[in-house]
Amino acid sequence: MKAYIFPGQGAQFQGMGKELYDSSEIAKGLFHQANDILDFDISKVMFEGTEEDLRQTKITQPAVFLHSIITYLSKGENLRPDATAGHSLGEFTALVAAGAMKFEDGLQLVYKRAMAMQAACEKTVGTMAAIIINDNSIVEEICAGIDQFIVVAANYNNPGQLVISGSLEGVAEASRQLTEKGAKAIPLSVGGAFHSPLMMSAQEELQKAIENTIISTPFCPVYQNINAQPVTDVSVIKTNLINQLTGPVRWQQIIENMLANGINHFVEVGGKGRILLGMVRKISREAQMDMLT
Phi/psi at 290 (nearest 5 deg)? -145, 160
Instruction: Please give the full DSSP string across 47-85, using - where no structure is assigned.
Output: HH--HHHHHSHHHHHHHHHHHHHHHHHHH-TT---SEEE
User: Which of 88, 165, 167, 196 is flagged as catalytic?
Assistant: 88
Report d(CA 243, CA 206) in Å as an integer: 10
Antiparallel, parallel or unpaired: β 265-269 and 288-292: parallel
Q: What 3-state DSSP class applies to 12?
A: coil
Instruction: Please give the full DSSP string across 245-269, using - where no structure is assigned.
Output: TTS-B-HHHHHHHHHHTT--EEEEE
Instruction: Please give the full DSSP string across 124-172, using - where no structure is assigned.
Output: S-EEEEEEE-S-HHHHHHHHHH--SS-EEEEEEEETTEEEEEEEHHHHH
Degrees, nearest 5: CA angle 129-251-193: 30
CB 50 within 8 A of CB 14: yes
User: Which of 87, 167, 195, 196 is flagged as catalytic?
Assistant: 195
Antiparallel, parallel or unpaired: β 265-269 and 2-6: parallel
Question: Any long-range contacts for 205-208 (C-beta under 8 Å, 24+ apart)?
Answer: 205/112, 205/116, 205/119, 206/109, 206/112, 206/113, 206/116, 206/242, 206/245, 207/242
Q: Catalytic annotation on 196?
A: no
The letter for the amino acid at 184 is K
Q: Catalytic annotation on 201?
A: no
Catalytic residues: 88, 195
